[in-house]
Amino acid sequence: ARLLTYAQRAENHHNPAAKALLETIGRKKSNLCVSVDVTKQADFLRIIDVVGPYICLVKTHVDVIEDFEFSMIDRLKELSAKHDFLIFEDRKFADIGNTVALQYSSGVYKISSWSHITNAHPIPGPGIITGLSSIGTPLGRGLILLAEMSSKGTLASGAYTSQAVQMARAHRDFVIGFIAMRRMDGVGAEGLDSTDLANEDFLILTPGVGLDAKGDSMGQQYRTPREVVLESGCDVIIVGRGIYGKGNDADIQAQAERYRKEGWAAYEERISVQA
């Protein structure tokens, strides 16, 4: 899959969210997801309206918005239609199935009603997928499992990562991919059928991407779009502060276009390499 185009891969996906994301990436020539981690509704919507033309996906942490009103979600949906991008609430669910089903569907945010994609830690075991799927599958949503993390000292490595991939394989209709730092092809696949594995195509969404910094003071680690997409075979670059953080906020539009261009060039180079 690392050598196929996004459009070719869209045809092989049955999950509506995965298909739509791959189609959007191909149509907009953008594998850029902007992570909009700001605390005011107005800033949130303003940044999204500016970066909208350059992204395939917007990633939210809706619970950090101080002046949240549900009407912000209506504005977000309007921007998603205006600029043609999908929505990914980075909720990182981590509880038993029954609880995550409630957290996903209910409360203040009703995430399942507007977020095409959300994510979960595999730590509770497969019940977390069953719980989220009971809400998300009827709505055509997709789930991303956190198989690895970008932060220094993460415990999500080795056997934990392999078992996350194994959990995803058992739920391929709803689990569409991973938060990971590299492709997961063949990870935890000992003893599995090789043609089955060759047809497997999980999306790899990768945070910890920055062109100007190596990290922050709280353990975040950055790599470039080229390292992430070309060298590690990831599919979507997730960029937050690199685009609107202090020092980059003078021209958010130019930063978004810069990351889009870098991410797309790395992809084009990747698929041009003949195996």
CB of 13 to ligand UP6, least distance (A): 23
Catalytic residue among 43, 92, 185, 261: 92
The residue type at 92: K
**Total length of the chain:** 275
241 marked as part of a ligand binding site? yes
236: left (phi over 0), alpha (psi -120 to 50) or beta: beta
Alpha carbon distance 169, 101 (integer Å): 21
Q: Which residues contact 23 (CB under 8 A, 6 or more apart)?
A: 6, 7, 10
CB of 216 to ligand UP6, least distance (A): 7
59 marked as part of a ligand binding site? yes
**Contact between residue 6 and residue 22 where contact means Cβ atoms under 8 Å apart:** yes
- Of 216 and 251, which CB lies nearer to ligand UP6 in the complex structure? 216
Catalytic residue among 43, 84, 95, 185: 95
Q: State which residue has the least CB distance to ligand UP6.
A: 240
- Of 8 and 163, which CB lies nearer to ligand UP6 in the complex structure? 163
Catalytic residue among 28, 90, 201, 235: 90
CB of 145 to ligand UP6, least distance (A): 12
- Of 231 and 268, which CB lies nearer to ligand UP6 in the complex structure? 231
Binding site for ligand UP6 (CB under 6 A): 35, 37, 61, 90, 149-151, 179, 207-208, 220, 238-242
Alpha carbon distance 29, 260 (integer Å): 8
The residue type at 146: L
- Of 179 and 230, which CB lies nearer to ligand UP6 in the complex structure? 179
Alpha carbon distance 33, 38 (integer Å): 15
Beta partners for residue 236, in sequence order = 205
CB of 12 to ligand UP6, least distance (A): 26
**Active-site residue 95, yes or no?**
yes
Alpha carbon distance 32, 41 (integer Å): 22
- By annotation, the residues acting in catalysis are 90, 92, 95
